Amino acid sequence: MGDLVKNSLTIWLIVGWFGYLILPWYMLEDGFFSFYWLVDGYPMDEDYSAAFMQVFSADRNWLLPLIFTLLLPLRALSLDKSDKRYGLYLIASGSLGLAYLLLQGFAIGVSGWQLSLFESYFINAEFNQYGMGYGALLYGLSMLMLLTTGLAARGAMKGDVFVTSSIGLIIGIVSVFVFYPVSQVLISAFQDNEGTFSVVSFIDKFFDDKIWGLACTSSSVACGIAWNSLMLAILTAVLTTGLGLAFALIVTRTGFAWKKQLRLLTVLPIITPPFVIGLALILLFGRSGVITEFVADLFDTEATRWLYGLPGVLFAQVLSFTPISFLVLIGVVEGVSPSMEEASQTLRADRWNTFKNVSLPLMRPGLANAFLLSFIESMADFGNPMVLGGNFEVLSTEIFFAIVGAQNDQGYAAVLAILLLTFTLSAFFVQRAWLGKKSYVTVSGKADSGVHMGLNPLLKMSCYAVALPWAFLTVVIYGMIMFGGFVKSWGYDHSFTLQHYNDAFALNWTEMGLVWQGAAWDSFWTTLSISAIAAPLTAAVGLLTAYLLVRQNFKWKSGFEFGTMLSFAIPGTVIGISYILAFNVPPLELTGTGIILIICFVFRNMPVGVRGGIAAMSQLDKSLDEASLTLGANSFSTFKNVILPLLRPAIIAALIYSFVRAITSVSAVIFLVSADHNMATSYIIGLVENGEFGIAIAYCSVLIIVMLAVIFAINFFVGERKLRRSNRLSIANKDNNNRSLKLQEAQ
Amino acid sequence: MSSTYAKGSVVFDHVIKNYGDVTAINDVSFTVEPGNLVTLLGPSGCGKTTTLRMIAGLEHASQGRIFIGGKDVTQLPATDRDVSMVFQSYALFPHMTVLQNVAYGLVASGINKLEAAEKSEEALALVGLHGYGQRLPSELSGGQQQRVAVARALVLEPEVLLLDEPLSNLDAKLRRQVREEIRELQQKLGLTAVYVTHDQEEAMAVSDRIIVMNKSVVAQEGSPRELYDEPNSSFIADFIGDANLIDVELVDTANGMANVNIAGLQKYLPAREFALGSAQLAVRPDAIELQHVSQKTSGIKGNIRHATYLGNQMQYDVDCELGTLFVVDYQLKQSLVVGADVNIDFADRGLVLVKAN
Asked whether the predicted pLDDT for residue A155 surpasses 90, the reply is no
Kindly state whether residue A195 falls inside one of the protein's structural domains.
Answer: no
Kindly state whether residue A184 falls inside one of the protein's structural domains.
Answer: no
Which tops the pLDDT comparison, A238 or A35?
A238
Kindly state whether residue A493 falls inside one of the protein's structural domains.
Answer: no
**Range in A681-690, B17-26, B203-212, B286-295 the model is least confident about:** B286-295
At A1, is the pLDDT very low, low, confident or very high (cuts 50, 70, 90)? very low
Asked whether the predicted pLDDT for residue B75 surpasses 80, the reply is yes
**A139 shares its domain with A225:** no
Asked whether the predicted pLDDT for residue A325 surpasses 70, the reply is yes
Mean pLDDT to the nearest integer, A689-711: 86
What pLDDT is stored for residue A733 in this prediction?
37
Q: What are phi and psi of B285, to 5 degrees?
A: -60, -30
What pLDDT is stored for residue A459 in this prediction?
85
Mean pLDDT to the nearest integer, A704-716: 83
Q: For residue B336, what is the domain's CATH number? A: 2.40.50.140
What pLDDT is stored for residue A718 in this prediction?
67
What pLDDT is stored for residue B41 in this prediction?
95
**B223 shares its domain with B271:** no
Asked whether the predicted pLDDT for residue A491 surpasses 70, the reply is no
What HEC string does A386-414 produce? HHHCCCCCCHHHHHHHHHHCCCCCHHHHH
Q: For residue B78, what is the domain's CATH number? A: 3.40.50.300
- Number of domains within chain A: 3
What pLDDT is stored for residue A92 in this prediction?
92
- End residue of a domain, out of B234, B254, B282: B234
**B56 shares its domain with B191:** yes
State the Cα–Cα distance between residues A717 and A535, nearest whole angstrom: 15
What pLDDT is stored for residue A91 in this prediction?
92
Asked whether the predicted pLDDT for residue A442 surpasses 60, the reply is no
The answer for residues whose C-beta is within 8 angstroms of residue A347's C-beta and 6 or more apart is none
At A724, is the pLDDT very low, low, confident or very high (cuts 50, 70, 90)? very low
Q: Looking at the complex, does the CB of residue B350 fall below 8 Å from at least one CB of chain A?
A: no
Mean pLDDT to the nearest integer, B281-309: 84
Residues of chain A in contact with residue B74, where contact means CB-CB under 8 angstroms, are none
Mean pLDDT to the nearest integer, A337-359: 76
Asked whether the predicted pLDDT for residue B346 surpasses 80, the reply is yes
Cis peptide before A645 (omega within 30 of 0): no
- End residue of a domain, out of B234, B258, B285: B234
**A328 shares its domain with A432:** yes
Are A626 and B56 an interchain contact pair (Cβ–Cβ within 8 Å)? yes
Kindly state whether residue A448 falls inside one of the protein's structural domains.
Answer: no
State the Cα–Cα distance between residues B342 and B319, nearest whole angstrom: 10
Which tops the pLDDT comparison, A213 or B278?
B278
What pLDDT is stored for residue A725 in this prediction?
37
Nearest residue to A184 (alpha-carbon basis) of A585, A596, A607, A601: A585
Cis peptide before A43 (omega within 30 of 0): yes
**B206 shares its domain with B294:** no
What pLDDT is stored for residue A451 in this prediction?
63
What pLDDT is stored for residue A730 in this prediction?
33
Kindly state whether residue A469 falls inside one of the protein's structural domains.
Answer: yes
State the Cα–Cα distance between residues A367 and A245, nearest whole angstrom: 8
Q: Looking at the complex, does the CB of residue B88 fall below 8 Å from at least one CB of chain A?
A: yes
User: Which residue from A158, A627, A721 is facing B85, i.e. has the nearest CB?
Assistant: A627
**Amino acid identity of A511?**
E
The domain containing residue B112 runs over which residues?
2-234
Are B95 and A630 an interchain contact pair (Cβ–Cβ within 8 Å)? no
Mean pLDDT over the full length of chain A: 79
Are A721 and B95 an interchain contact pair (Cβ–Cβ within 8 Å)? yes
**Range in A485-494, A568-577, A692-701 the model is least confident about:** A485-494
B-chain residue closest to A646, CA distance: B95
- Number of domains within chain B: 2
Kindly state whether residue A683 falls inside one of the protein's structural domains.
Answer: no
State the Cα–Cα distance between residues A354 and A343, nearest whole angstrom: 9
Q: Which residues pair with B328 in a beta bridge?
A: B315
| Interface list for chain A against chain B, based on CB atoms closer than 8 Å | 1-2, 155, 158-160, 621, 623-624, 626-635, 637, 641-642, 645-646, 721-724, 726-727
What pLDDT is stored for residue B48 in this prediction?
93
- End residue of a domain, out of B234, B266, B301: B234
**B239 shares its domain with B222:** no
Asked whether the predicted pLDDT for residue A737 surpasses 50, the reply is no
Residues of chain A in contact with residue B138, where contact means CB-CB under 8 angstroms, are 723-724, 726-727
Q: How far is B242 from chain A (nearest CA, A)?
A: 33
Percent of chain B clearing pLDDT 70 (strictly above): 97
Pairing of strands B300-309, B314-320: antiparallel
Q: How far is CA A314 from CA A236, A243, A318, A379, in A?
A: 6, 14, 6, 12
Residues of chain B in contact with residue A723, where contact means CB-CB under 8 angstroms, are 94-95, 136, 138
Mean pLDDT to the nearest integer, A666-675: 83
State the Cα torsion A454-A459-A464-A470 to the nearest 10°.
-120
**A547 shares its domain with A479:** no
Mean pLDDT to the nearest integer, A560-575: 78
What pLDDT is stored for residue B180 in this prediction?
92
**A351 shares its domain with A430:** yes
Residues of chain B in contact with residue A153, where contact means CB-CB under 8 angstroms, are none
Mean pLDDT to the nearest integer, A655-679: 84
Q: How far is B142 from chain A (nearest CA, A)?
A: 13
Mean pLDDT to the nearest integer, B25-38: 94
How many helices and strands, by DSSP H and E, does chain B display?
A: 8, 20
Asked whether the predicted pLDDT for residue B117 surpasses 90, the reply is yes
**B182 shares its domain with B253:** no
User: What is the SS3 assignment for A542?
Assistant: helix
**A332 shares its domain with A476:** yes
The answer for residues whose C-beta is within 8 angstroms of residue A383's C-beta and 6 or more apart is A273, A274, A275, A278, A666, A667, A681, A685
What pLDDT is stored for residue A732 in this prediction?
34
**B30 shares its domain with B155:** yes
pLDDT in tens, A255-312: 777 777 777 776 676 678 777 888 888 878 887 777 777 788 888 777 677 888 888 9
B-chain residue closest to A555, CA distance: B20
Mean pLDDT to the nearest integer, B89-103: 89
Mean pLDDT over the full length of chain B: 88
Among B75, B76, B95, most A C-beta atoms within 10 A, so best to mutate, is: B95
**B210 shares its domain with B240:** no
Are B87 and A723 an interchain contact pair (Cβ–Cβ within 8 Å)? no
What pLDDT is stored for residue A719 in this prediction?
60
**B68 shares its domain with B27:** yes
The answer for residues whose C-beta is within 8 angstroms of residue B103's C-beta and 6 or more apart is B113, B116, B117, B119, B120, B155
The domain containing residue A730 runs over which residues?
522-678+713-746
**A544 shares its domain with A663:** yes
**A425 shares its domain with A537:** no
pLDDT in tens, B167-189: 888 888 888 988 999 999 999 98
**B167 shares its domain with B120:** yes
Reported for A186-189, long-range contacts at CB under 8 A and 24+ positions apart, including other chains, are A186/A414, A186/A418, A188/A410, A188/A411, A188/A414, A188/A581, A189/A411, A189/A414, A189/A415, A189/A417, A189/A418
Which tops the pLDDT comparison, B187 or A401?
B187
Mean pLDDT to the nearest integer, A322-347: 76
Are A629 and B58 an interchain contact pair (Cβ–Cβ within 8 Å)? yes
Kindly state whether residue A508 falls inside one of the protein's structural domains.
Answer: no
Number of Cβ pairs < 8 A linking chain A and chain B: 89
Q: What is the value of ipTM here, to two decimals?
A: 0.79
What pLDDT is stored for residue B39 in this prediction?
96
Which tops the pLDDT comparison, A719 or A419?
A419
**A136 shares its domain with A218:** no
What pLDDT is stored for residue B206 in this prediction?
93
Asked whether the predicted pLDDT for residue B31 surpasses 90, the reply is yes
**B187 shares its domain with B311:** no
Q: How far is B76 from chain A (nearest CA, A)?
A: 8
What pLDDT is stored for residue B278 in this prediction?
81
**A143 shares its domain with A219:** no
Kindly state whether residue A185 falls inside one of the protein's structural domains.
Answer: no
Among A81, A555, A630, most B C-beta atoms within 10 A, so best to mutate, is: A630
Question: H or E stretch including A252?
Answer: helix A225-253
State the Cα–Cα distance between residues A155 and A611, nearest whole angstrom: 29
Q: How far is CA A567 from CA A573, A608, B356, in A?
A: 12, 10, 61
Are A726 and B152 an interchain contact pair (Cβ–Cβ within 8 Å)? no
pLDDT in tens, B192-219: 999 999 999 999 999 999 999 999 999 9
At B236, is the pLDDT very low, low, confident or very high (cuts 50, 70, 90)? very high
**B255 shares its domain with B340:** yes
Are B84 and A724 an interchain contact pair (Cβ–Cβ within 8 Å)? no
pLDDT in tens, B333-342: 777 889 888 8
At A488, is the pLDDT very low, low, confident or very high (cuts 50, 70, 90)? confident
**A409 shares its domain with A479:** yes
Asked whether the predicted pLDDT for residue A46 surpasses 90, the reply is no
Q: How far is A537 from chain B (nearest CA, A)?
A: 25
Q: For residue A370, what is the domain's CATH number? A: 1.10.3720.10
**Range in A49-58, A274-283, A710-719 the model is least confident about:** A710-719
Asked whether the predicted pLDDT for residue B353 surpasses 60, the reply is yes
**A571 shares its domain with A646:** yes
CB A27 within 8 A of CB A589: yes
Question: H or E stretch including A113?
Answer: strand A112-113
**B206 shares its domain with B243:** no
Asked whether the predicted pLDDT for residue A331 surpasses 80, the reply is no
**A475 shares its domain with A552:** no
What pLDDT is stored for residue A580 in this prediction?
86
What pLDDT is stored for residue A313 in this prediction?
92
At A634, is the pLDDT very low, low, confident or very high (cuts 50, 70, 90)? confident
